[in-house]
Amino acid sequence: MVSKLVGLLPNLEEAKLLDSTDAEASYVWKLALDVLGTSDATSKDDFEEAFYLVQSLADRTWEQINSGVFSEVPISTRKVYALSCFLRIVFLLLDSDDEKQLEECFRTLDNAVLVGCTTDLYGRGSDFLQETSKFLDEKAGRFNDVHFEVIVPLEYKECECDIDCLDCPTIEAFNADYFKPKKPVLLKNTIKHWPAMQKWRDPNYLLKAAGNRFVPIEIGSNYTTDNWSQEMSKFKEFFVRQFGSEKDSNEIEYLAQHELFDQIPTLKDDIRIPDYCCLGKNEPHEIDIKAWLGPKGTVSPMHQDPKHNVLCQVFGSKKVILASVADSEFLYAHPSKMLENTSELDAENIDFEKYPLAKNAKFYHLKLQEGDALYIPPKWWHFIRSLNKSFSVSFWWE
């Protein structure tokens, strides 16, 4: 099977196109591809030299990517890093396929996707990603030893809702009454047809699809507090800690605002882009789809986003507090540049003595339940707290 992955690597000319000015990378591409192309006849010394140089190239480009502002890193550097990760995986698998080695392969694959740039990497790049993920999942399956009970659906309750609440409005009605005037609305029964509504209730399905992958986890009550941090974690380990029958951690961890579906296309097949997202400038592939998975008590503090947002609730429920962009002057945005889209207010327990202008703002309260979708217009402020174990998907577009 590893030979199949070798066949999905680029040829030398394709590899050189990633960055024609990087002579070191070109040298490594040639040596590594030559060694992998003749692996049966390659000496141990040549194999180890090529493996070492691939690792060195990955280390060098990793440092370049992480030494400055990520958005300013040249795409060519991220693509060189991604291909060096691809090559490293093949060398690792040719060396061994024990549990520790497979874990390192998963970590390397996810670094290629999350840190590197695998979009339009080369002709067979997406095939390499798909086949490598499939191969690693099959190999790692023999080491899986956890089992979870299916998550029971919550009873849907009619609750007070301070905004309009509609059952599958037409696109024309949504456009005229909510999208154009930028008015929030709670949309019922718009995602009932998603396979995710049934499949994701089974944690064993999620663990089979994503258990061995590495994902960014937020640790702490919310991102404005001093105790907040981030780390990369194996999905299975995060899930066991936060969703186990006896919660394995006192800390709240949150897989938040993560492009999980680009990383694991199997899960993307379980959802559908809501029809309402066709309104606006974006093509379907330009819509940002984010995953939000965590235990009871995860908090997104009152903040605003620049794009249209449809937040869909697959399982669990959330408390939501909204405030209009028109009331921004009363909501005490953080003075720091990093948090200027976030309010200093604790939306659930506002200290009106400290923040007297907040009395002038109107707040809208609602509960987001399983199968609901909430349309949040651009720049509308929103606070969200999970009331149970929860999995949400958001769609952002312009």
In a domain, 21, yes or no: yes
- Domain membership of residue 335 (yes or no) is yes
129 vs 118: CA distance, rounded Å: 9
Spatial CA neighbour of 274 closest among 289, 252, 262, 264: 289
Same domain, 77 and 176: no
Altogether, the residues listed in the chain come to a count of 398
Ramachandran category for residue 379: left, alpha or beta (phi over 0 → left; psi -120 to 50 → alpha): left
**Spans of the chain below 50 pLDDT:** none
Which among 85, 114, 143 is the end of a domain? 143
In a domain, 154, yes or no: no
Query: 195 and 311 share a domain?
Result: yes
Does residue 151 belong to any structural domain of this protein? Answer: no
Same domain flag for 78 and 210: no
Report the pLDDT value the prediction gives residue 244, as an integer from 0 to 100.
Answer: 83
Let me know whether 83 and 229 are in one domain. no
Residues 345 and 210 in one domain: yes
Residues 6+ apart with CB under 8 A from 291: 255, 258, 259, 260, 261, 267, 391, 392, 393
**Rounded to an integer, what distance in angstroms lies between the CA atom of residue 270 and that of residue 200?**
9
Q: Which residue has the tokens 């008015």?
A: 183
26 located within any domain? yes
Domain that holds residue 344: 164-397
Is there a contact between 303 and 224 (Cβ–Cβ < 8 Å)?
no
Pairing of strands 253-258, 214-219: antiparallel
Question: Which residues on neighbouring strands pair with residue 315, listed in sequence order?
Answer: 391
Sheet of 373-376: strands edge to edge? 164-167, 185-188, 373-376, 308-315, 390-397, 288-294, 253-258, 214-219, 229-234
pTM for the complete prediction? 0.90
Give the end of a domain, one of 76, 108, 143: 143
What local confidence, expressed as pLDDT, does residue 18 receive? Answer: 94
Asked whether residue 158 is assigned to any structural domain, the reply reads no
pLDDT number for residue 138: 87
Residues 290 and 384 in one domain: yes
Contact indicator for 383, 320 with CB cutoff of 8 Å: yes
Do 35 and 175 belong together in one domain? no
Do 181 and 322 sit in the same domain of this protein?
yes
Structure tokens at 166: 């509609």
Same domain, yes or no, for 107 and 170? no
> β-strands 253-258, 288-294: how paired?
antiparallel
* Per-residue pLDDT tens over the stretch 331-387: 999 998 889 999 999 999 999 999 999 999 999 999 999 999 999 999 999 999 999
Look at residue 341 and tell me if it is in a domain. yes
Among all chains, which residue has been given the structure tokens 């030398």? 12
β-bridge mates for residue 232, sequence order:
216
Task: Give the number of C-alpha atoms closer than 13 A to the C-alpha of residue 190, restricted to the C-beta side.
Answer: 29
Same domain, 77 and 194: no
Supply the pLDDT for residue 391: 98
Q: Are residues 220 and 111 in the same domain?
A: no
The reply to whether 153 falls in a domain is no
Round to whole Å and give the CA distance between 304 and 225.
Answer: 18
CATH number of the domain that 353 lies in? 2.60.120.650
The reply to whether 109 and 173 lie within a common domain is: no
Total domain count, the chain: 2
Q: Spell out a b/e string for 180-204, using b for 16 or more CB atoms within 10 Å of the CB, else e.
A: eeeebbbbbebbeebebbebbbebe
SS3 letters across the chain: CHHHHHHCCCCHHHHHCCCCCCHHHHHHHHHHHHHHHCHHHCCHHHHHHHHHHHHHHHHHHHHHHHCCCHHHCCHHHHHHHHHHHHHHHHHHHHHCCCHHHHHHHHHHHHHHHHCCCCCCCCCCHHHHHHHHHHHHHHHHHHHCCCCCCCCCCCCCCCCCCCCEEEECCCHHHHHHHHHCCCCCEEEECCCCCCCHHHHCCCHHHHHHHHCCCEEEEEECCCCCCCCCEEEEEEHHHHHHHHHCCCCCCCCCEEEEEECHHHHCHHHHCCCCCCHHHHCCCCCHHHCEEEEEEECCCCEEEEECCCCEEEEEEEECCEEEEEECHHHHHHCCECCCHHHCCEECCCCCCCCCCCCHHHHHCCEEEEEECCCCEEEECCCCEEEEEECCCEEEEEEEEC
Last residue of a domain, one of 143, 176, 191: 143
pLDDT, position 1 = 80
